[in-house]
Amino acid sequence: MMTRLIYFAWVRERIGTSEEDVELPAGIETVADLLRWLQSRGEGYEHALQYPDVIRVAINQEHVDHREKIAGAREIALFPPMTGG
Amino acid sequence: MPAALVPSVRIQRQDFDVAAEIAGLTQGRADIGAVVSFSGLCRDEQGALSALELEHYPGMAEAEIGRIATEAVRRWPLQGLTVIHRHGKIRPGENIVLVVSASAHRQAAFEAANFLMDYLKSRAPFWKKEHRVDGSEGGWVEAKDADTQAAKRWKSSSE
């Protein structure tokens, strides 16, 4: 199953794309697993995700924490802490 | 029990008219005793800033602000609630965000507007990038810990 990954702000700039569809390898169960796997995909990813604790994540457009299971997620977004308002 | 109020949430590029938004909530009604409006504007940072670029997550921005607004309606006896957040390039002096809350009495209206802004700051998917007057790379605005702390004070014991 393909999962859509979406990036915003400096996460998007460092990775170098705003979205992509990926086939997640077996064993990627939680958000934390996903962040670890993404870091291994190249320099841009490594730079964007070098401090995974600061990365905020939404699954299907709802905030989740890094322990959340990602099974069945259609859309996973990664972004820095928000600065709206 | 009257039907639950459905808040009006709008994410838009264009500016808004504060007076018209207030009138939109109060016109033709006689049961509203208090309206609080909060507008957030773009500052020029002592002349250094030429604009803010607001990036947002389409779909989630509406959904998340909708969730926060629905929570406000659950907590306070509101008769009207409008939230507008702009995106795109915004110049110093221009509006960024608007919250208008209406209630029978002032306390609910004040508190609901305050709650909305605190949560919006730390949970609504928007990111500000600075454009500087001297043309240098301004960079992304960093989230303030004070904003996260401000949101925490609304946590009820049931959460």
CATH number at residue A13: 3.10.20.30
Number of neighbouring beta carbons within 10 Å of residue B92: 16
How many Å lie between the alpha carbon of B41 and the closest alpha carbon of chain A?
9
Task: Determine the residue of chain A that is closest to B99 in CA distance.
Answer: A85
CATH fold label, B8-152: Aldehyde Oxidoreductase; domain 3 (3.90.1170)
Domains in chain A: how many in total?
1
Kindly state whether residue A49 falls inside one of the protein's structural domains: yes
Kindly state whether residue A84 falls inside one of the protein's structural domains: no
Strands of A19-23's sheet in order across: A19-23, A2-7, A75-79, A56-59, A62-64
Contact between B125 and A8 under an 8 Å Cβ cutoff? The reply is yes
| pLDDT tens string B44-95 | 999 999 999 999 999 999 999 999 999 999 999 999 999 999 999 999 999 9
Contact between B33 and A50 under an 8 Å Cβ cutoff? The reply is no
CB contact under 8 A, B59 and A10: no
Domain boundaries, given as residue ranges, for chain B: 8-152
Residue A27 backbone class (left: φ over 0; alpha: ψ -120 to 50; beta: rest): left
Q: Which residues of A touch B85 (CB under 8 A)?
A: 84-85
Query: ipTM strictly over 0.85?
Result: yes
Q: Which helix (H) or strand (E) holds B128?
A: strand B126-132
| pLDDT tens string A4-59 | 999 999 999 999 999 999 999 999 999 999 999 999 999 999 999 999 999 999 99
The domain of A58 spans 2-79
